[in-house]
Amino acid sequence: MVTGLLFESCVCRVPKWSSTSGTLTVLSRRIRRYVKLNNEIPLNLSYIPVLKGFKSETKDAWGNDIIYEVNGTEVTLTSLGRDGKAGGQEEDADITRTFFAHEDLDDPFCSLVGLQHETYDIMSYIATRIQRYVDNNGQLPDNISILPELKIPTNKDSMQYTGIHNKIIETWDNNIINKTTDCWGKDVIYKKVNPTTFQLFSYGEDLKEGGMGQNSDMERRFELNDKGECVETHFNLRDK
């Protein structure tokens, strides 16, 4: 199936769950833009401004309304998947993104849009799997083809645990938790810098170094601290 991605001038072949994940990302940025301009959280999604160059969807790729929930300063956006019901597997699975409404839009992480954000999540899952490997083997892996697989936590209290020190995963998505390719089908590049440091790279939609927008390169660097915990020490979205 051919479906519009996020840029109005771009038509790409992407799964509906992937397109929906991108929609949630753009919605989260539109909400934070509203908060920055108005110093208050919007009552509903009809209040939020559009982002120039991006579709202003408030429905998922299956035509269902995105569920908008506010708890204090924490905002949760949810798609119930293809079946429109809570729970489910594969395309029926729920997709949820939780964030703080007052997050700084100038933070590099908040500049991520669409499939960039999903690639960031994929890297977070890979780093979590590397942490599990370190826990079991006492060292970093030589490559990421040998990593243990993840399962979505069944205990709600552990939903945000990733095993990455001081980091959480916003979205537990069964479609991508064990992927080692970015959202454009290219292998995420793993580099073991030394026995305690590793890097993860994606070259973006154009699959080559450099570029602007969705073609930007993404780099994340992690180090093992003295407790053997993966700590992210560097994040860079190279937009040039």
Lowest mean pLDDT among 4-13, 31-40, 150-159: 4-13
**Selected residue with higher pLDDT from 95 and 172:** 95
**Cα 122 from Cα 115, distance rounded (Å):** 10
pLDDT of residue 153: 62
Which tokens go with 207? Answer: 């699959």
State pLDDT tens for residues 124-146.
889 889 988 999 999 999 999 99
Among the ranges given (53-57, 70-74, 131-135), the one the predictor scored with the smallest mean pLDDT:
53-57
> Which residue has better confidence, 92 or 41?
41
Question: Average pLDDT, stretch 194-210?
Answer: 89
User: Is residue 84 over pLDDT 70?
Assistant: yes
pLDDT at position 19 over 80: no
